[in-house]
Structure 1
Amino acid sequence: MIQFLSCDWGTSSFRLRLVRVEDMRIIGELVSEMGVQLANRSYLEAGGELARNVFFRKLVKEAVRSLEHKLQVHLAETMIICSGMASSSIGIDELAYAELPFPTNGSKMNIHFYGPSEEMDHPLFLLSGVKSDSDVMRGEETQLIGIILQRADFSGAGVFVFPGTHSKHIMIKDFLITDFQTYMTGEVFRLMSRSSILSKSVSEGEEITPDSERAFESGVRMGARNNLLGNLFQVRTNDLFGKLTRNDNFHFLSGLLIGNEVCNLGTDAGSAVYLCAEGALHFWYAKAMEILDVKAEVLSPQEVRQAVVYGQFEIVNDTINHEKSIFLGSF
């Protein structure tokens, strides 16, 4: 069985998956909160005893060993493909961004190859990100490529929405990424709900209730009016005046921020909109789009979950060996 390891290393999360090439099935995975930001902090605290790329690859090797133990398999020398913030200035190595327009087969991606070494007995391909004149992304472009690979009926044009810490709206025309916009929705929500004065007025409950959904809808509609800085303080007064419980207020705050982001699709989208989300964000973004009457195709969480492994494999296979399989060529 031919397989590879997919490493999706984001700012605040780390995900390592064992993938069977034949059908791109994820055999097993290891997920942790050891994002690039936290890993970089550990590197700095270590005082530079090891070169950056050596330190980070040792972290990957440790994760591989944990995955081996979890799945009871032997993965020595299995190829690793790594995308996301791992190719940033605080990751394994900083790779130059590819530039727009960027083809959705990934053929313009910048790639760095590390052969097996004493630190790690796995060959590793590190993928870059993409930049425009005013914005950057690392990871979402790889997911996008994987999404499109799974959609044989894609016309070559549309807006793809990837919610997250830094949400991305990616514009596609003629199978080229022509532009994209970052929205700091997730990060601002984390700051507001955990570190600001508003944190005293919200709390996250375990269940979604009809009241919390109504509070979210109210937040979405208010956020779409684009007076965000003025409306944010209403989270405080909702609590002070007893208008909402702190759990419902949590969802009101979420709605404010997501609504403020989603309302921009009215101007971004000259064609089809595709929502690409997993977990709770899948539900809340789909609901916000419904509330604001944004006509979107909502991809299944499974399709989104598989996207990065499809994208990583396509980029490396196409860029390194073109028509050959990467497993048939020499590195």
Structure 2
Amino acid sequence: MLKDLFMGLSKNQFLNTAAKKYGLKLGAQNVVAGTNIAETIQSIKELNSHGIACTVDNLGEFVYKEEEATEAKEQILEVIEAIHENGVDAHISLKPTQLGLDIDYTFCLDNLREIVDRASRYDIHVNIDMEDYGHLQPSFDILDDLSREYDNVGTVIQAYFYNAQENLEKYKNYRLRIVKGAYKEPKEYAFQEKKEIDSNFIKLIEWHLLNGKFTSIATHDHHVINHVKKFVKAHNIPNNKFEFQMLYGFRRDMQLELAKEGYNFCTYVPFGKDWYGYFMRRLAERPQNLNLVVKQVFNKKTNTMIGLAAGAFVLGRMSKKKKGK
């Protein structure tokens, strides 16, 4: 039920709009690295100082106009320039829908080609994030098209899809981020039970560690992390073949601990005001994530409450009061 609730909230355009206005009052700064590029670069520098690399996501939802997609592209190009100019250890993560996939395939491909081309000049990796099933194949098609020209692109494999293993094998020579999956998918395409998803997640990680180019293991689950530690040791897999990834603002102590232990670690760094849908999907993916963030927020003795139905309720109330004035 919680997953359905969070997914419903993530798709609510009214709440997304309200969150842009009231995000800081709801504690958005605890889950996004900044509202602009300058703030984000400072957050990256802080993480880099602890031996943690970053992948940067320019947040954005519901892009159906070319002007909006072009604006997102320009913003990402600015991020690439900022990464280069500041010499920080970071790369780019982006969603094809933000760059026009729901508008026109060729338009979207051209936008991504410009981004990947700029990033390639500075030897910066670009990761194509995967979204819901309806966008899955077009996103892989974009990866295929870009890979004919560039070698600095990778993507994501979502463990809840039945065809995840097939795609993992097809793209084994790419840098891949393996995740459980954050969208609500029908049973025709995806596992529905947590136990099945978790099992497939481990299976995919192990296969790519043994057969793939580079594996980004995206999880906050310490059970999975401990399993991977034992697996790489048993199979003599060197640290330069994989990294652990977590989201900005989640399990900070563990992020620092893994980096100190000598593992490659990368923090997924979202920035911008359009944070609400992103955060709701993180909670849908793993409702325990709410506890991870809320504990940190209340440890700081703040009165902040993030996300969940309470967040939705507060956003709704604030917006209604604003309209009533």
The TM-score normalised by the length of structure 1 is 0.24
Bigger helix fraction: 2
Larger of the two Rg values belongs to structure: 1
Does 1 or 2 have the higher relative contact order (CA < 8 Å, sep 6+)? 2
More strand by share: 1
TM-score when normalising by structure 2 = 0.25
